[in-house]
Structure 1
Amino acid sequence: MSNESLDTLIDGKLRLYQSRNGYRFSLDALLLAHFVTIKAHEQIVDLGAGNGTIALLLSQLHPTVSITALEVQAAMADRARRSVALNGVAERVAVVSGDLRQARSLLAPSSFDAVVSNPPFRKPNSGRISPQREKQIARHEIEGGLTDFLGAAVHVLRAKGRLALVYSAERAVELLAALRAAGLEPKRLRWVHSFAGDAALLVLVEAVKGGRSGVEVAPPLVVYRAAKEYSDEVAAIVAGIAKPSSAVIPGEAG
């Protein structure tokens, strides 16, 4: 289609359909895919999957897992479905078109080991709002806010299941409070900085459903070591040569 582009991820290992003018993947997705703790043969769901970037990355990083990608925007879900087929992973990645606010009617309760999500973290009327509807929904809390994402996660997660997400650093206190209120105990946290010495822009958080208290704060993740030059860690992630997280969640057995 003329309004679409076919792009590559992790040094050409994956291909992805995207709108030329709509929402396109960012580095956030790659960082989250490498942060989440995933074990062999687990069932994973991506809430708010967009064009399927994270689902595809996880299918590459964890070849034994099964992934469900839930996306409310029909056009993006269609692109995700076609990208999954193009990459030959349709047997392991299922795309579901639907609203996560209706998760109870779309996904079975307590059916997943882990949830990943890159939710919109701008309030509906904050900042510059794109005239492009696809970008509006992906960036602003228009079709679901933080509590909606967490409610869906609690519904689908098994006991001691894990939720990993990337969020705005300036809303970190709100995020951590909302996680605990939902019964999702924060266990791992990593701040993301553009440059060493800069204030954090993002935070990566992993929480456990019904987990014990106690959080591990990982060393900061610095994106750039110089202008337009990625740090060694991020360069390895972008190139597809970095290994996924092998972290052990503190204080949780299994």
Structure 2
Amino acid sequence: MTFCKGKTKGPATSPEETVDTLFHGKLRIIQAKRGYRFSLDAVLLGHFATIRGSDRVIDLGTGNGVIPLILARLHPAVEIVGMELQEEMVRRALRNVNLNRLEERVKILRGDVCSVKEVLPPESVAAVVCNPPYRKPATGRVNPDAEKRIARHEVRASLADFIRAGSYLLRRGGHMALVYPATRMVDLLKTMRQEEIEPKRLRLVHSYKASAATLALAEGIKGAGTELKILPPLVVYTRDRKYTREMKAVLGE
């Protein structure tokens, strides 16, 4: 297993990039202006995932590396691997790791979840996190931008491919946490169980208290027995379109 290496020459070396911040500037994230950009999903998943002590964690489809950076910020003792297929995204993730001086704890690996057995050993991590593509190949508007297209549509790997890779990597009793559209929650839970990741915790995310759920945060345990805990809903905004108290805490405000 060979991890990618690289050195950033500055926070942004291209006019096509931005440098955005999280947690009051404690994390800085280089992103493409028009390519894939992280959203609130990544922050919510980072806070939702069960991470213990010095767990070894992997993020499948890491993109710009934002989830490993969030986990490193929240859990000072963990070691995290971010696995990503797209070469340009891998380079950007490396720059983000270096920019935030987390080279000792966050590693970036270029790889395909469909061939994970070729690059990583089985049962080698305690936790897996994943924000997988959420649209079927022929549904919705297919974005002409390759970064966005691969991140949103199952054109290179399906939901089952990501969960199967997570099950392969997890030791027995390990946790896998995912964020997915609430409208596809049945597909998510069904696939988790099929791949030996028994759903154990579920939390729905609502933009407003009276609105329908938009996201599902789900976590399963490899080889666990059946019993699903439904957590209280997470509401993002108040009626006057400000972050709720809980969301402010999540964002470090």
SS in 2 for 1:226: coil
Structure 1 distance, partners of 2:212, 2:20, is 31
Partner residue in 2 for 1:158: 171
Structure 1, unmatched stretches of 5+, are: 242-254
Partner residue in 1 for 2:180: 167
The CA deviation string for residues 111-167 of structure 1, in whole angstroms up to 9 with x for no partner, is: 000000000111111111211111000111111111100110011000111000001
Partner residue in 2 for 1:234: 247
Partner residue in 2 for 1:97: 110
Partner residue in 2 for 1:74: 87
Paired residues for 1:41-190 under 5 Å: 41-190=54-203
Q: Say whether 1:27 aligns with 2:40.
A: yes
Q: How many residues align?
A: 240
Amino acid at match of 1:216: K
Structure 1 segments of 4 or more deviating over 2 A?
A: none
Structure 1 distance, partners of 2:214, 2:20, is 26
- TM-score for the superposition, normalised by structure 1: 0.92
Displacement of 1:174 after TM fit?
Answer: 1.1
Structure 2, unmatched stretches of 5+, are: 1-13
Displacement of 1:107 after TM fit?
Answer: 1.1
The CA deviation string for residues 201-222 of structure 1, in whole angstroms up to 9 with x for no partner, is: 1100000000111011100001
Structure 1 distance, partners of 2:95, 2:147, is 18
Displacement of 1:236 after TM fit?
Answer: 1.8
- TM-score for the superposition, normalised by structure 2: 0.93
Displacement of 1:228 after TM fit?
Answer: 3.3
Change (3 A) 1:219 1:138: same
Structure 1 distance, partners of 2:203, 2:69, is 23
Structure 2 distance, partners of 1:178, 1:42, is 25
Displacement of 1:227 after TM fit?
Answer: 4.5
SS in 1 for 2:157: coil
Structure 2 distance, partners of 1:86, 1:181, is 39
Structure 2 distance, partners of 1:227, 1:56, is 31
Displacement of 1:101 after TM fit?
Answer: 0.8
Q: Say whether 1:198 aligns with 2:211.
A: yes
Two-structure CA RMSD over aligned residues (Å): 0.9
SS in 2 for 1:219: coil
Structure 1 distance, partners of 2:98, 2:67, is 15
Q: Which moved more, 1:2-11 or 1:102-111?
A: 2-11
